[in-house]
Each structure stands twice: as structure tokens, then as C-alpha cells.
A and B are shown apart, each in its own frame.
Chain A
Amino acid sequence: MTTSKRRSFREPSLLTKILLQVAAIGILITVLFPIIWVFSVSLSPLNLIRPDGLNLIPKDATLEAYLQVIERPTGNPVSFFELAFNSMKIAGGTALASVSLGVLAAYPLSRLAFRGRTFIMLVILGVLMLPAVATLAPLFVTLNSIKLDLPILGAFNLRNSQLGVGIAIVSGSLPFAIWNLKGYLDTIPRELEEAAAVDGASQMRIFRSIVLPLALPAIAVTGFLGFISGWTEFYYSWMFLTQPRDFTLAMALSAMTGTYASAIPWPLVSAFSIMLTLPPAIVYLLSQRFITGGLAVGSVKG
């Protein structure tokens, strides 16, 4: 009696197996449906006014939408790579700034006792609660008040520049980086550092040769997350930037299909979406193990 019950626990019937497989494939179809749809629309010829049916491979399938996206995705005279370079500058710059400043600040917050530590932690926690949109008005007004009249470069307004967008992004990403890295450092055992301190190593030395190498996974993850959010940042760049040469990928996508677009250029939008998604998705898939490992360790400890 017991053995047969045990077997039924381990060996599900054929019918159960088939039903499970059907359910799993059904779920898979709902997951993949929008992705496949975008892909198949992106293969349509450019003169398509709108998709007229659900075809996996559309009639007269072509790659001309991708060529058009590379050359000139929007009405403005900017190519995909110019837009991507702008996004890259903003994403890379803000990720680098917040991670390098963040790891320096995370070290004393995790390891050293000093006056003002609790206060600083509370301030960071409070700031983290705010969504990025919540500091839009003061950042816009403040950055807009910094105007220079440079002799060669002409008039410069910090608000209407990628540097200004970068500053606005760092205002949110730096507190996040400090918090995330501090959480990770808290999980690293202290024995090595204590041994080094007994041997007379300075705090700077301990930080450079012990803490920094151990924190590399968390630094990479925090940097990656910062890069991803910068790569598709929308609120600040959409509000701050007015010159087409400064525009980013997210702004171009919004201009093509967003609230104020009159007619949707279907194949173009689809090809653009895929090209915007691929770089971060590929980086994620290649470094998946690394990232989920670093995330799990960093986020468990608050």
C-alpha cells in the first residue's frame, strides 16, 4: 500500500504529463506572442500602412525597415548609431559616476563607526523612496538657471545638454548605488580585513586590496543596472533636451509611437524596438549567472 502510494507520488500518469506539457506550452505562447508579433511586423515592407493580419512571415518580407532605422529612424536627420551613441554616453557616464562614488561611500557605511552614520543612512533611505519623477520640477528649474555664453561653443544651457540629463539621473542613481553596494559589503566576512588591520594596513590599503576586489560582482551588477536604466531613460531627456543632435533612443521611440504620433510607421517602430532591446538583453543573457548571483547577495540584506 505504502509503496504504491509512494510510486504515485514520484511517477505522474501519462495523462497528467500531457496536461502539464499543454499548459506549459500554452503559457509559452502568451509570453512569446507579442515578441513574435513585433518581429514579424518588423519584416514588413516600409510602404505597409498597417498590418492586415497575423502572419509569422509577412508578404514580401524584407529587411528594409532595419536599413531605414539604421540610416534615419525619425524625421530628424540623425542615424540610429548617433542616437545610440547619445544613449550610451548618458548610460555609461551615469553608471560609472554612481558606482565609483557609491562604492567609496558604501565602504565606511558598512564597516566603520563614525558620527553621522545613522543620519546619512536615513537620508539615503528616504531619497530612495521617491520615484524619479518626483524631483523633476526643482531639477529642471535649477539646471535651467545655469546658462553660459561661451566664446567659441556659443550659448550653453546646462538643462538643455546631455550633461544636465546625466546630473539629473545621478541624483537618483547614486543613492541607489550606495544602498545596493552597502548591502553587498555587509555580507562579505570581515576576517580578512581584521587580519590586515592587525598587520598594520591602513584603511585605504584595506579598501583597495581587500574590499574592492571582493565587491567586484556587486560593482558589476550595480553598474549594469545603472546602465540599463540610463539606456532607456525617458523622463529627464524628454523634458530637458530640445536639439535633435542630443536626442536618445528612448526619445526617438516615443516620438515615433507615443502620445503625439499621428500615424504609426509600423515596420519602422517594430524594427527600432528590436534594435533598442537587443544590446541590454544580450549582455544580460551572457552574464546571467553573474548578475543573478550578485543581485541575490546584494539585495537580501537591507
Chain B
Amino acid sequence: MSIFTRVNRRSLTPYMFIAPAMIVMAIVTIYPLIFQFWMSFTNYGLANLRQGAPAPDWVGLENYVKILTSELSIPNYSFLRLFLYNIFWALSNVTIHIILGVAIALLLNHPGLKLKRLYRALYVLPVLIPPIVVATTWRNMFNQDAGAVNMLLGLVGQVFRIPPETFQLDWLRQVEDPISFIPLPLSYYAMLIANIWLGWPLNAVVATGALQAIPKDLYEAAEIDGAGKWASFKTITLTYLRPAMVPFAIYGFVVTFNLFSLAYFMSAGGPFGRTELLVTQAYRLVNERQLYAVGAAFAVVLFVILLTISLITNRISKATARYDDF
């Protein structure tokens, strides 16, 4: 308690400061959350929205049961598929982001590279672009007839005398899986490319910061001791990178897990809802289907999933605490 300024325990001062924010939060944040919890046990729908409409009926756990057993009356809905795809989407993206981020940070940190400052400044440009612009731009880039990706592939193909018709890929809507033994649609790969473009720069920034904190004489000492490049990378570089990268990877996982813009604007969840994420499904339930009660229950399920994820990641970040804490 000593770190806090001692005030009279009965003093009202703290409450005076905090009251305005708490009153606003109670009305616009807490009340809707409680209301949402109540809604999730009813059949609140479009009919209950009109003024003077009757109160919705209490249906108990029906919404939850329907969500978890995939019995919602909407097309292409499967809870298990959504959940597994969502986890895989976040994991695959974050893994690639970190590997690329670290590799490019190593490049930017190499003593032989000229114009480092220029590259560093230009590499973070994707981060400055609003998510909705990133998503719509990549949607257009992957357009079948006029998108830049197919045109670029066509140009590269010309070098190898492959006719340009080969590269008329319908990236965002093709139904058949491009790699027959991996059950992922082509739109997953399109969004993966877009999100790699968007995601690695911040990882590189964080990794660069961690790399610059490594004392140079450690490498010289390792070299004198006869350690090879790979050995000193493993023992010195990775050791120093870990405390910075693990929390950022966890942060990146949560952000990617809830990444609304790409799944909503690029593929619109297609084909057949196979690239839908939990957040875009939650939005569609409320916005397109007007299933307010189901949407409320879905949000509660989403909350439980995110709570579980953060409890697990908390343990991971504790297990990989700073190297100087040991």
C-alpha cells in the first residue's frame, strides 16, 4: 500500500475523480454487457425491436446449444470449423510474421547494409494505412480479371513461356482447394499474403529494438571461443530476442485472432463460409441476419474463448519471463 499516496480512507476525493468515467462506463459499457447476457437467454429478434412490441420469450440455453451444436438456421455454419480455422489462421500468421520479422530485423541490423534508416522508415508504411483501406486494396489486388496479382504472375510466367491464361485465378472465390491434401481454400492463401504484408513490419521493429540492445562484445567473445555463426545466433541472439518477442507474439495472436477487416472485406468469409472468423460471424449474425439474441449468446461464447486464450497466454509469458529475472 505504501506506493499509493496516503489519503484519508473515508476521503471522497478518489471517487470524485473516477465518478464521471464510471458513470459513463456503467451506462454505455457495463449495462449493455449485462443486457447482452440477459438477451442471450431469450429469443430477441426483429419482431421485438418495434416500439411497444412484446417482450421476448425466455428460451434458456437454447441459443447456446444451437451455436455449439451448429444447428443455427443460417447457411454454412459450423462452430467447430469456425473455431479450428480461427485458431489456425492466427497461429499460421503469427508464426510467419515472427520468422520474417526477425529475419528482416537481422538484415536491417547487419553492419554491411547501407541506407538502413531509409529502409526502416519505408518498411513500416503498411502500418500507417487504415485496416479498411488495406483490406479493400488487397481485395482489388486479388481480383480475377484486373487484379495486380494475376497480372504480375502473368508477367513472370511470360519469362518461362507459360501462357497468361494460366494465371486467371479466382483467388477469393475459387471453391476447389489449391493443394489437394490441405483442406484450405485459395482465399485463405490470398488473405495470408495480405496479412503477411501487413504484419511483419511491426515484428521487425520490435525485433530490431531487441537486437540493438545486445552487447556487441558478446559476439566477439563467442567468436574467440570458437563458436560458429549458428551457435552464437542460437545462444546469444535468440536469448536476447525472446523476452521482447514472446509478449509481442501473444499480442499479435490476439489481434490476428480477432482480425475483422480482411475476412470481412476480402473474402466475405467465402467460399461457403470457410474463411469466416468468430468476429465476422458475430457481426453477420447481428447485422445481416438480425438474430440479436443468437448474436448476444455468440458474443458470450467469444468472450469465454478469449478469456481462456488470455489465461493460457498469461502462463506462457510468465514461463518465458525476462532473462535477467532468473
Contacts and interface: CB of A to CB of B under 8 A. Distances in A.
B18 A31 contact: no
B130 A170 contact: no
Q: Which 4 A-B pairs have the closest CB atoms?
A: A12-B112, A50-B146, A105-B21, A108-B14
A137 B140 contact: no
Interface in A198-246: 203-204, 207, 228, 231-232, 234-235, 238-239
Contact of A105 (B7, B22, B141): B22
Contacts of A193: 5
* Interface SS of B by simple majority: helix
Nearest to A33: B148
Interface in B258-294: 258, 260-261, 264-265, 268, 279-280, 282-283, 286-287, 292-293
B70 interface: no
A113 B265 contact: no
A24 B105 CA distance: 11
Given A235-B260, A259-B268, A10 B283 contact: no
B143 A264 contact: yes
Given A27-B123, A50-B145, 12 more contacts: A31-B201, A112-B5, A114-B14, A127-B29, A138-B33, A175-B25, A190-B3, A234-B132, A254-B136, A259-B264, A259-B268, A277-B129
B123 A114 contact: no
A34 B197 contact: yes
Interface in B99-121: 104, 107-108, 110-115, 119
Interface residues of B, number: 91
A168 B151 CA distance: 42
Interface residues of A, number: 100
Contacts of A102: 21
Given A20-B112, A34-B138, A102-B21, A171 B130 contact: no
Given A102-B21, A114-B15, A235-B260, A141 B112 contact: no
A112 B14 contact: yes
A12 B21 contact: no
Contact of A178 (B21, B125, B143, B148): B21
Contact of A144 (B4, B49, B310): B49
A277 B143 contact: no
B155 interface: yes
A128 B130 CA distance: 21
B190 to A, nearest CB: 13
Interface in A59-87: none
A225 B75 CA distance: 37
B306 A130 contact: yes
* Interface SS of A by simple majority: helix
Contact of A109 (B18, B111, B151): B18
Nearest to A40: B148
A9 B219 contact: yes
Interface of A: 2, 5-6, 9-10, 12, 16-17, 20-21, 23-24, 27-28, 30-35, 37-38, 50-54, 97, 101-102, 104-105, 107-109, 111-115, 117, 120, 123-124, 126-127, 129-131, 133-142, 144-145, 147, 167-168, 170-172, 174-175, 178, 190, 193-194, 197, 203-204, 207, 228, 231-232, 234-235, 238-239, 250, 253-254, 257-259, 264, 266, 269, 273, 276-277, 280-281, 284-285
A178 to B, nearest CB: 6
B191 interface: no
B17 A131 contact: no
